[in-house]
Amino acid sequence: MAGNDPNNPQGMPGMMPGMMPGQMPGMMPGQGMMPQQGMMPQQGMMPGMMPGYGGNPMMQMMQMMQMMMGGAPAMPMMDPSAMPFAMGNVAQDADSGLDADIIRPATLTELIREQKPMPTGSVLDYLCLTSDAQHALGGLPMGCTITFVGPPGKGKTRTSLATLLRVAATGTKVAFVVAEEGFHNAEGSGRDDLCSRMVKIGMQVCGMDEATLREKVLANVYVLESQYHKGQTWDDFIAKYRYLVEKEQIGFVVIDSLNMLDPTKNRTADNLSALKTYNHEKGVTCVCIGQIRDTGMPVGGEALMHTADAVFLIEEMGLGSKEMAEQWGGKYRDKIDVIRAVKSVTTPTFPHMVRVAQEAGTGVLAAHEAQPADYALPSLAG
């Protein structure tokens, strides 16, 4: 009856005994129609709703259900993408942590630089050009991370090893990352292992005997084994790589091969991107030997080629016509090996394919004597 409940003197329908005016069923005392202290009601708000939900029926319904279950009103939810913008005040000028990653070009002393070469003594010296595109650069673009890809048995590893030893002979410390095979086999294995093949190549390209090569060249060579069968991951490799580069001040690196450092082949391009950025910071020139798929594309695809500073690709080219065979110095329907620079971020590239052959004894790639006159290689700079 009306008047029996002091909180409901008029006997308003729907109110239970003990409920406050404006209190909805399931609401705790104090969650009535009046907004919380210091908060102004917004247009479209239902009784008991918190500011920030006005005009959003879904949010209103969610809060109403929570209140009917006896819970307190939920705080307004925030879009995750907006959270970084709501995390306190903007860093002040004195906060060097954020400011250190902001570069103002106008404050730099040396703005323009010319790309320098790292000579290889192979056909790779002709694939990149000087800035005016009139001459061959004469080597790998220094400070860049290059992917060198092609079918197996075409001379990629031997050419890279010859380059590694030539650079070491100049006094620069170099590193050879081995992921595809063991570097030095147990004594008596009977195998001409990778170490043995490297020394033989070095003796020929440097013109030294074994003792002289050991003293003047191999003293600057470091070999890092990073093989999957040993349970080593990409993170393990990076930890060792950083330690070696920073401790020994390595200037040139050959990785054989990048794909084997990630056997899943799913993150080759991402791995190369992280490696390239680190090499830029430390001034390391790096050649990453890579594999190709049956389609002729490198493992890692377009993403890999987009990520690298430069891409050198060895291909088999079929001589599909008699005219083509005559032009390239082969026989009709033969296949020949050619190499081309797919890209170079810091230099122009030689616009034609270069027919290649492996030098006797070393297996190092050199321009074939039958290279068409129309596609003659440019002269070396200087």
Which tens digits make up the pLDDT trace of 339-372? 999 999 999 999 999 999 999 999 999 999 999 9
pLDDT at 182: 82
Other C-beta atoms within 10 Å of 102: how many?
6
**What is the pLDDT averaged over residues 113-142?**
97
Q: Is the pLDDT reported for residue 10 higher than 80?
A: no
The pLDDT value recorded for residue 72 is 57
Neighbours of 260 (CB within 10 A): 22
Q: If you average pLDDT over residues 19-34, what whole number do you get?
A: 54
More reliable by pLDDT, 31 or 335? 335
Least confidently predicted of 86-90, 202-206, 243-247? 86-90
Q: Look up residue 380 and give its DSSP letter.
A: B
pLDDT at 278 over 90: yes
The predicted structure's pLDDT at residue 6: 59
Residue 198 has pLDDT above 90, yes or no: yes
Give me the pLDDT at residue 234, please: 83
* pLDDT score at 268: 78
% of the chain residues with pLDDT over 70: 74
- Residue 38's pLDDT band (cuts 50, 70, 90): very low
Q: What per-residue confidence (pLDDT) applies to 58? A: 65
Q: Return the pLDDT at 16.
A: 58
- CATH of region 117-375: 3.40.50.300
**Is the pLDDT score of 35 beyond 60?**
no
pLDDT at residue 70, rounded to an integer: 64
For residue 301, give the nearest of 327, 329, 276, 266 by alpha carbon.
266
DSSP label of 109: S
Which tokens in the block code for residue 88? 């306190």
Question: From CA 22, how far away is CA 48, in angstroms rounded?
Answer: 9
Please report which confidence band the pLDDT of residue 262 belongs to, taking 50, 70 and 90 as the band edges: confident
Local confidence band at 293 (pLDDT 50, 70, 90 cut-offs): confident
Q: Where are the alpha helices (DSSP H) in 263-380?
A: 268-282, 301-307, 322-327
Q: Is the pLDDT of residue 82 over 90?
A: no
pLDDT surpassing 90 at residue 298: no
78 pLDDT higher than 60: yes
Q: Is the peptide bond before 257 cis (omega within 30 degrees of 0)?
A: yes
What value does the mean pLDDT take over residues 274-294? 91
Tell me 289's DSSP state. E
**Averaged pLDDT of the chain:** 83
Residue 356: its pLDDT value, please?
98
Band of pLDDT at residue 22, cut at 50, 70 and 90:
low
Residue 83, pLDDT above cutoff 70: no
Residue 184: its pLDDT value, please?
85
pLDDT of residue 36: 47
Grade residue 185 by pLDDT with cuts at 50, 70 and 90.
Answer: confident
Only one residue has tokens 């860093």, namely 91
Q: 332-360 burial, b if ≥16 CB within 10 A, otherwise e?
A: eeeebbbbbbeebebbbbbeebbbbbbbe
- Token readout for 270 is 């991402």
pLDDT of residue 56: 62
Q: What is the C-alpha end-to-end distance of the chain, expressed in Å?
A: 109
